[in-house]
């Protein structure tokens, strides 16, 4: 087993570290575990919250909690975390944990296969993750859950745009979705997710979320509303062509070809196209998402995932959502309903009026800290 840590100078060199020795901080939080689901945004979201907690806990820099992050996507994940400013000395990227997660997380745009993987492998994976955490790290004090479908038994706070049991129950009520989903297996998955959710202390769900198309929605008893779950980027002032459009490709690999086809059509219309940096393509300019804050980016196009939507909310950018494709996660279907029913600009204005901020990361950090007192 190895613990992989990106060097602080941002290079792609890795080194194996022994677990650092930190003195106990006043809140008795020495280790925080990131419990993510698939894609890039969940580990970014959870690690951002964990770093916010670590930085606000009283004490010196060398008493900050260790943050353990499953390494699901190798060097790409490490590079993205570095670009997000999350790779600090207290972060450990755990490759063995990442290997366990990859056995059951969503991939290849195939939700039915994801159900089968979960039903077949979730319990074994859950045991493996718990054993690994206990054997390698001893006592872990806190978990930030970003849509994970396993329970670690740790004290857990969830930050995510939806709750799985609600998502899957609503899916059961949509004939268009259920044409492609095995009803019996989805029912078993709901029972499995209910057990996972029983171990979560608080659900931090943005007030503008997957089900905001439904004005009659009732909150979960453990749910706390938040602003968009994203930090606000500083403005990018680099010189890029006017009328540039940024195409965000999903970290799950979903909708890749549809996104590239639309990018080609957009370029043919005379607009400058920029793709997310993680795409392996020489066909277009590729940049990290911080370029979206540039004034010359007039629109962001991509799969209707919340990482991209939150970024557009906080930067006031137009978002063009790709159509839902059968086989993709049901969440995307409902996200598009929300975007069509409750436009981003209006919802964002309402959130700012309600919370006084659009930085949901800091909001959640403060809420969790208040519960740790």
Same domain, 213 and 285: no
Residue 2 has pLDDT above 50, yes or no: no
Counting the structural domains of the chain, the total is: 2
Chain position carrying tokens 């007030």: 207
Structural domain of 148: 3-230+359-372
Residue 8 has pLDDT above 80, yes or no: no
Same domain, 363 and 339: no
Q: What is the mean pLDDT of residues 282-311?
A: 94
Same domain, 96 and 48: yes
Same domain, 109 and 139: yes
Element (H, E) at 265: helix 256-268
Average pLDDT, the chain: 90
Question: Does residue 359 contact residue 232 with C-beta atoms inside 8 Å?
Answer: yes
Q: How far is Cα 179 from Cα 86, in angstroms, rounded to an integer? A: 41
Same domain, 193 and 263: no
Same domain, 138 and 170: yes
Q: In sequence order, what are the residues at sequence separation of 6 or more whose Cβ sits closer than 8 angstroms to the Cβ of residue 171? A: 177, 178, 181, 186, 330
Residue 4 has pLDDT above 60, yes or no: no
Give the residue from 150, 186, 188 showing the smallest Cα distance to 168: 186
Same domain, 269 and 317: yes
- CA–chain centroid gap for 277, Å, is 17
CATH of the domain at 103: 3.40.50
Residue 236 lies in a domain: no
Give the residue from 155, 203, 199 showing the smallest Cα distance to 28: 155
Residue 117 lies in a domain: yes
Residue 32 lies in a domain: yes
Q: Where does 118-178 show beta strands of DSSP type E?
A: 142-146, 156-159
Q: How far is Cα 227 from Cα 207, in angstroms, rounded to an integer? A: 7
User: What global pTM score does this model have?
Assistant: 0.90
Give the residue from 353, 232, 365, 254 showing the smallest Cα distance to 303: 254
Same domain, 155 and 290: no
Residue 133 lies in a domain: yes
Same domain, 249 and 218: no
Chain position carrying tokens 């979903």: 254
Give the pLDDT score at 108. 83
Of the pLDDT bands very low, low, confident and very high (cuts 50, 70, 90), residue 27 is low
Same domain, 175 and 203: yes
Q: How do residues 349-358 score in pLDDT, each as one tens digit?
A: 999 999 999 9
Give the pLDDT score at 159. 98
Residue 277 lies in a domain: yes
Give the residue from 289, 306, 309, 349 showing the smallest Cα distance to 159: 306
Question: What string of DSSP letters covers 310-345?
Answer: HHHHHHT-EEEEPPP-TTS-HHHHHHHHHHHHS-HH
Q: How far is Cα 80 from Cα 89, in angstroms, rounded to an integer? A: 16
> Lowest mean pLDDT: which of 4-8, 41-45, 65-69, 250-254?
4-8
CB-CB neighbours of 256 under 10 Å? 15
Residue 201 lies in a domain: yes
Residue 235 lies in a domain: no
CATH of the domain at 294: 3.40.50.2000
Q: In sequence order, what are the residues at sequence separation of 6 or more whose Cβ sits closer than 8 angstroms to the Cβ of residue 175? A: none
Q: What is the mean pLDDT of residues 90-98?
A: 98
Same domain, 36 and 49: yes
Residue 19 has pLDDT above 80, yes or no: no
């Amino acid at each position: 087993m190895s613990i992989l840590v990106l060097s602080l100078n941002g290079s792609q060199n890795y080194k194996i570290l022994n677990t650092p020795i930190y003195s106990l901080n006043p809140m008795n939080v020495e280790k925080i575990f990131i419990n993510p689901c698939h894609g890039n945004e969940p580990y970014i979201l959870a690690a951002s919250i964990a770093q916010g907690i670590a930085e606000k806990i009283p004490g010196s820099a060398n008493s900050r909690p260790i943050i353990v992050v499953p390494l699901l996507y190798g060097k790409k994940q490490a590079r993205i975390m570095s670009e997000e400013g999350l790779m600090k000395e207290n972060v450990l990227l755990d490759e063995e944990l990442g290997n366990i997660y990859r056995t059951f997380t969503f991939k290849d745009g195939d939700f039915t296969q994801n159900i089968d993987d979960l039903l077949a492998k979730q319990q074994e994976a859950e045991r493996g993750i718990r054993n690994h955490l206990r054997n390698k790290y001893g006592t872990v004090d806190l978990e930030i859950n970003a849509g994970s479908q396993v329970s670690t038994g740790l004290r857990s706070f969830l930050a995510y745009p939806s709750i799985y049991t609600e998502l899957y129950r609503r899916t059961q009520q949509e004939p268009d979705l259920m044409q492609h989903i095995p009803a019996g297996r989805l029912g078993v998955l709901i029972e499995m997710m209910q057990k996972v959710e029983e171990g979560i202390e608080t659900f931090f769900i943005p007030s503008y979320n997957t089900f905001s198309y439904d004005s009659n929605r009732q909150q979960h008893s453990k749910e706390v509303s938040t602003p968009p779950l994203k930090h606000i980027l500083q403005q990018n002032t680099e010189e890029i062509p006017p009328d540039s459009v940024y195409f965000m490709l999903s970290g799950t690999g979903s909708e890749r070809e549809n996104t590239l086809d639309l990018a080609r059509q957009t370029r043919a219309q005379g607009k400058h196209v920029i793709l997310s940096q993680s795409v392996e393509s020489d066909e277009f300019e590729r940049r990290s998402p911080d370029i979206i804050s540039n004034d010359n980016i007039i629109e962001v196009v991509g799969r209707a995932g919340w990482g991209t939507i939150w970024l557009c909310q906080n930067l006031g950018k137009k978002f063009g959502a790709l159509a839902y494709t059968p086989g993709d996660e049901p969440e995307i279907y409902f996200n598009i309903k929300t975007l069509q029913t409750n436009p981003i600009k209006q919802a964002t204005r309402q959130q700012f009026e309600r919370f006084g901020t659009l930085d949901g990361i800091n909001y959640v950090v403060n809420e969790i800290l208040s519960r740790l007192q």
